[in-house]
């Protein structure tokens, strides 16, 4: 009896150890499975987004820039908003290089670029006359260099949009800059420079520039008016700067609006007319100039469009492009209300959550 009991006891203990061992192995397997299944999620969170930003985008000239209603620090504010609300890190954004002089000369004249070495000229374009009394080196570092970086950002954004289907440059959209002159705080024609480079690489390509800043994009229209492969869809306050009536005749799809237009009329035009413009133009690439100076509280835009309508506007433009698989690059352009940076940030978050990754 003693021998049998001992045998049974030993078998029971062996079975117990076997069971415990199996449970340990299962636990280890499940833990490894959990880690493996979590890894793609973390990789996705850490992946780079096709959004371009430089800490040097913000414009600063001894505080004198604050004499103009333009929010010269909005780029950093939008960047900070995206990081804070979306849990993004700086390493998930692309950093641009300054546009080269050779590329600037593909659109601008040498005489104009030389004129930017004069503080008086820089001050006139910025509409801040006090800048004329500062050394040109300070103005170049505080104003022109950020805009050369942003122009490089627009060019980088083109490559990213071609690769990912969309991209956003958290600056740019200098649509008043002409080949031989600047204006309206615009020094370099970033969109035409980038557009001509795209056409150089793809001569049979077609480009649509959707300019929804509150002001007519007279610089873009002046530079691109003879280029049949570039079409412009421009919705603007016809009673506001720059009042370039002759150039309005060169716009492929012009929509001059009366002041205080409001949400319904404005959005109806975008919803109805933009899809038709895309259909007619058959573009291979879309530049989207997403100015928020149409905002109701903007002191210079005058179109009285609400924050919600601006967010909806951006979503409409992106949905149309993505639906038809046309690469789209968004640039920020104008905006003069204190709330502008916040509206841009909220709109980009909406694009990421409900349009691009929906």
Of the candidate CATH numbers 3.40.800.20, 3.40.50.720, 1.20.58.340, 3.10.20.30, the domain formed by 50-356 belongs to 3.40.800.20
Q: Indicate the pLDDT class of residue 70, thresholds 50, 70 and 90.
A: confident
pLDDT (average), residues 41-52: 70
Query: Token pair of 109, please?
Result: 């004249």
Q: What whole-number distance in Å separates Cα of residue 152 and Cα of residue 256? A: 30
Cβ atoms 352, 311 nearer than 8 A: no
Query: Token pair of 88, please?
Result: 């993004």
Q: What whole-number distance in Å separates Cα of residue 69 and Cα of residue 66? A: 7
Cβ atoms 209, 284 nearer than 8 A: no
pLDDT (average), residues 13-22: 43
> Which of the residues 175, 176, 215, 231 is marked catalytic?
176
Dihedral angle, C-alpha 335, 124, 143, 171, nearest 10 °: 30
Cβ atoms 267, 313 nearer than 8 A: yes
Q: What whole-number distance in Å separates Cα of residue 273 and Cα of residue 341? A: 27
Q: Is residue 67 predicted with pLDDT exceeding 50?
A: yes
Instruction: Please state, for a pLDDT cut of 90, what percent of the chain lies above it.
Output: 83
Does residue 64 or residue 241 have the better pLDDT?
Answer: 241
* pLDDT per residue as tens digits for the range 104-139: 999 999 999 999 999 999 999 999 999 999 999 999
Residue 280 CB neighbour total at 10 angstroms: 12
Q: What is the DSSP letter of 47?
A: S
Q: What whole-number distance in Å separates Cα of residue 64 and Cα of residue 126? A: 11
Q: What whole-number distance in Å separates Cα of residue 335 and Cα of residue 165? A: 26
279 is catalytic: no
The pTM of this model reads 0.87
Q: What whole-number distance in Å separates Cα of residue 191 and Cα of residue 59? A: 20
């Amino acid at each position: 009896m003693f021998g049998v009991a001992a045998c049974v006891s030993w078998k029971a203990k062996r079975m117990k150890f076997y069971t415990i061992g199996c449970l340990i192995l299962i636990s280890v397997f499940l833990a490894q499975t959990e880690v493996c299944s979590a890894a793609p999620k973390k990789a996705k969170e850490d992946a780079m987004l096709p959004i371009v930003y430089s800490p040097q985008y913000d414009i600063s000239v001894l505080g004198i820039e604050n004499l103009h209603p333009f929010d010269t620090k909005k780029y950093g504010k939008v960047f900070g908003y995206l990081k804070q609300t979306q849990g993004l890190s700086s390493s998930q954004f692309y950093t641009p290089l300054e546009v080269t002089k050779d590329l600037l000369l593909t659109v601008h004249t040498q005489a104009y670029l030389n004129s930017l070495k004069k503080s008086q000229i820089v001050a006139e374009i910025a509409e801040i006359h006090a800048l004329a009394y500062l050394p040109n080196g300070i103005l170049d570092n505080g104003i022109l260099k950020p805009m050369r970086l942003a122009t490089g950002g627009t060019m980088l954004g083109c490559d990213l949009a071609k690769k990912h289907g969309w991209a956003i440059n958290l600056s740019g959209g200098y649509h008043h800059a002409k080949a031989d002159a600047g204006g309206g705080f615009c020094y370099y024609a970033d969109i035409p420079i980038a557009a001509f480079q795209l056409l150089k690489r793809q001569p049979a390509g077609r480009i649509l520039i959707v300019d929804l800043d509150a002001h007519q994009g007279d610089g873009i229209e002046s530079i691109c008016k003879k280029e049949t492969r570039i079409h412009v869809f421009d919705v603007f306050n016809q009673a506001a700067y720059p009042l370039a009536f002759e150039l309005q005749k060169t716009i492929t799809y012009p929509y001059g609006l009366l002041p205080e237009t409001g949400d319904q009329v404005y959005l109806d035009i975008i919803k109805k007319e933009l899809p038709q413009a895309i259909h007619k133009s058959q573009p291979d690439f879309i530049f989207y100039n997403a100015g928020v100076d149409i905002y109701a509280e903007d002191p210079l835009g005058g179109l009285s469009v609400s924050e919600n309508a601006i967010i909806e506007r951006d979503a409409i433009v992106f949905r149309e492009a993505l639906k038809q698989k046309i690469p789209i690059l968004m640039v920020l352009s104008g905006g003069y209300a204190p709330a502008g940076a916040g509206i841009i940030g909220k709109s980009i978050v909406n694009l990421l959550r409900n349009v691009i990754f929906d």
